[in-house]
Amino acid sequence: MCRHAAWLGAPRALTALIQEPPNGLLTQSYRPRRQRHGTVNADGFGMGWYAAARAEPVRYRRSIPIWADANLPALAEIARSACLLAAVRCATTGMPVEESATAPFTEGPWLLSHNGRVARDAVRDLADGAESACDSAWLAAAAFQRLRAGLALGDALSEVVVKAAAKDPSARLNLLACDGAALAATVWGDTLFHRLSEDGVLVASEPLDDLPGWQAVPERSLLLATTSDGVRVQPL
């Protein structure tokens, strides 16, 4: 149910998440290696990044397969930032296939992606509204509502995941969010990995390549990453 990836560190182009790695999101859209649910992520894609000229992130998303967008290769080469987030989507049965249902979702300085599924009845009372009827949009709206109220990035994700899982024990709730200066991600029902390098940190549903250093994040954990403090993982 979807694959997502993010980078925080020295400026990189979005190709570092999508086309350049041998198992980047382009490859994961049609041949994921560790996806537990679904085999093809062809129901849309999106990416977001931060530019000095804008207070809010730039977002580009489509409801078509990532390989079908002829504009993407050039755009991903010039979209360069210290904080990047991208995702490819495998829509849950019954959920709409439309741009408004495609990650990343955004509000203010935040970007958010969801890998998984949850009953909509389990999340509708966690937010006042959402831009789409899909479960992921409601999860994003719930997280943004808590962020507006002043919760830290990791605390907002944790609260939403724990409350949604209490109402839907079979939910899969891998969330990935950023604000331009920090990353936060939850592991609840699917895989997540991270790799530290000299100039930053990669976080992804599955390794983007076979280089050493990738570490699996334990189930039911919260990952927090900043450029100053590196990566911290704690139980949810």
Per-residue pLDDT of the chain (236 residues; tens, 9 = 90+): 699 999 999 999 999 999 999 999 999 999 999 888 888 999 999 999 999 989 999 999 999 999 999 999 999 999 999 999 999 999 988 888 999 999 999 999 999 999 999 998 999 999 999 999 999 999 999 999 999 999 999 999 999 999 999 999 999 999 999 999 999 999 999 999 999 999 999 999 999 999 999 999 999 999 999 988 899 999 99
Cβ(216)–Cβ(192) below 8 Å: yes
Domain that holds residue 109: 3-235
Provide the CB-side half-sphere exposure for 88 (13 A, CA): 29
Query: What is the per-residue pLDDT for 38?
Result: 85
CA distance 218 to 5: 17
Task: Please give the Cα distance from 51 to 47 (Å, whole number).
Answer: 13
Q: Please state the domain count of the chain.
A: 1
Q: Residue 18: what pLDDT?
A: 98
Query: What pLDDT, on a 0 to 100 scale, did the predictor assign at position 137?
Result: 96
CATH number at residue 119: 3.60.20.10
Query: Is residue 27 within a helix (H) or strand (E), and if so which, with residue range?
Result: helix 25-30
**pLDDT given at position 92:** 84
φ/ψ of residue 214, rounded to 5: -70, 135
Q: How far is CA 42 from CA 4, 26, 84, 206, in A?
A: 13, 10, 21, 17
Known catalytic residues are 2
- Return the closest-CA partner of residue 232 out of 196, 207, 208, 206: 196
